[in-house]
Amino acid sequence: MSRSGFSRRTFLQGSVGLTVANFVPGTTPFAHAATMEEQTIAAAKAVGKADVNGMIWSPYLVPMKPVIAEFTKETGIGIGAVQDISIFDAPQRAMAEALSRSPQFDFIHIDSNMIPSLASAGYLEPLDEYIKKAGFHLDAVSDYAKFMTYGGQTYGVPTDGNVHIQYTRKDLIDNPDNKKRFADKFGTELKVPETWEDNLRLQEFLMDPSKDLYGSGNLRNRANGVTWWYMIFYSAGGFPFDDDMKPTIDNPAGQYAVDLYLQDKKVNHPEAANWGTPQMIPRIAQGHVVSCQYWDGTCKTIANPKQSKTVGQFYFSLVPGSKFTGKMVHRSISSPLAAILVNKYSPRKAQAAYMALWLGSGKNSIPIVSDPVNAFNDAWAKEHMKAEPVLKAYTPEGIKAVETNFQVVSPPIYLTGFLEFQDALGKNLSEAYVGQLPAKDVLKKTENEWNAIIGRIGRAKLKKDLASYKAVMPTKAVPT
């Protein structure tokens, strides 16, 4: 007999009876272990009904609406007023909200690289207590969940992985005539590029502007082009600051990255410096590009016959790497990484937090990342990597590439002042690309501007931030 007065035999007999009752109409079913989604609903019910207001770009919100509707049905927590603001314009607006301590938005959907800046401004609500009460776990691929943390706390829930993968024209590099010509000229096989130098050579060899076929499909505009420089710089063993927060880009690794970055001009479309994703993705999908590193959601566009003329004509793979350090190093990047952050000044912050967790469930986010029309939210969770709707949307090869690149994914500058650091570097790179700034001056000018930013924010403050920045950097040189 146990202390409660029940023997083990009596307990087991009772358990059998309860199990049987599960299948008998009118009886009380056996209480099963609550799933993460059920625990999230229970925690959300406890904080009361409310409509939460947010800032989110409509292409991201539309595929979330059915998932939110289910949450609203169960909890009474729904979407209220929403401001439709582009993911590229949201950071500036969010900083204005933070500085004014505005309660207007209960949540914001934004590039998570803004977490250090917004948390430092006191605007963000830590999510760890909500995560604990909901029994929530962020089952992101590899170490990707770290991108939601800063200063030892969790501040975001991702909806969009946005990792870059390599796209290489399968039909062009598998063409027997192209293979022979390439082998005759270079004495090596024409194949998916392993290094940045391989990629440039491939692009130069196969491009044919007379047929509107250009080597590169990479962006070189001021807002987004810098993303590609980071991948090259990190793969060359570079890191932007030393432990005393002194800039460390005006060095051989930095110059190597600038040189490769600028050589893209000879293989890219003449108007690439003015283009963003709305111009470049259609060109990739319509077959005007040999190879590129691009956001993983482009897989969905390429695989969709209603949007693409290149279905089945691309290899999806690991981004190129560099042997600059003496060994092969690959570094992909995720920027902007769209995530839901909660406003600390909101009177409905608990409701907003639980809605974010609901949307961040691997199970619940499957229809969000696999939406064939509103394709902005990209796969990021372990559950996505095996879900049939996701595999269908991206193709199995595409999902394999996503999973592989997540093992070596990096952030841009993950520090307070991200926007300022990013804009200074992006401006100087873009000016060099169009010939307004000598290539040799890009890094020195950027370091000078960064030192001014460091002075405004405070070196001591930023030295503390470095721990969070280093924590989200990948540890593997090459994916396993």
Find the mean pLDDT for residues 223-232: 96
Where exactly does CATH 3.40.190.10 map onto the chain? 36-161+335-395, 164-334+412-471
15-44 average pLDDT score: 62
**Percent of the chain with pLDDT strictly greater than 70:** 93
361-380: average pLDDT: 93
How far apart, in Å, do the first and last CA atoms of the chain sit? 53
CA-CA distance, 392 to 214, in Å (whole number)?
29
Nearest Cα to 234, choosing from 262, 253, 255? 253
Q: How confident is the model at residue 375 (pLDDT cuts 50, 70, 90)?
A: confident
What would the pLDDT profile of 313-338 be if each residue is shown by its tens digit? 999 999 999 999 999 999 999 999 99
Nearest to 231 by CA among 326, 330, 163: 330
- pLDDT of residue 25 exceeding 60, the answer is no
Rounded distance between C-alpha atoms, residue 62 and residue 264, angstroms: 35
Please give the distance of CA 163 from its chain centroid, rounded to a whole number.
5
Q: Name the amino acid, one letter, at 455.
A: G
Given this model, what pLDDT does residue 10 score? Answer: 37
Single pTM value for the model: 0.91
Q: How many helices (H) and strands (E) does the chain have?
A: 21, 15
Q: Which architecture characterizes domain 164-334+412-471 according to CATH? A: 3-Layer(aba) Sandwich (3.40)
**Cβ contact 291:193 at 8 Å:** yes
pLDDT attached to residue 203: 98
* DSSP track, 153-168: EE-EEES---BEEEEE
What residues contact 436, with CB distance under 8 A and at least 6 apart? none
Q: pLDDT category, 31, cuts 50, 70, 90?
A: low
> Does the pLDDT at position 88 exceed 90?
no
Note the CATH architecture for domain 36-161+335-395.
3-Layer(aba) Sandwich (3.40)
More confident residue, 316 or 87: 316
Peptide bond preceding 193 in cis form (omega within 30 of 0): no
Judged on CB neighbours under 10 Å (0-12, 13-18, 19+), 244 is: exposed
pLDDT in tens, 393-445: 999 999 999 999 999 999 999 999 999 999 999 999 999 999 999 999 999 99
Q: How many CB atoms lie within 10 A of CB 40?
A: 30
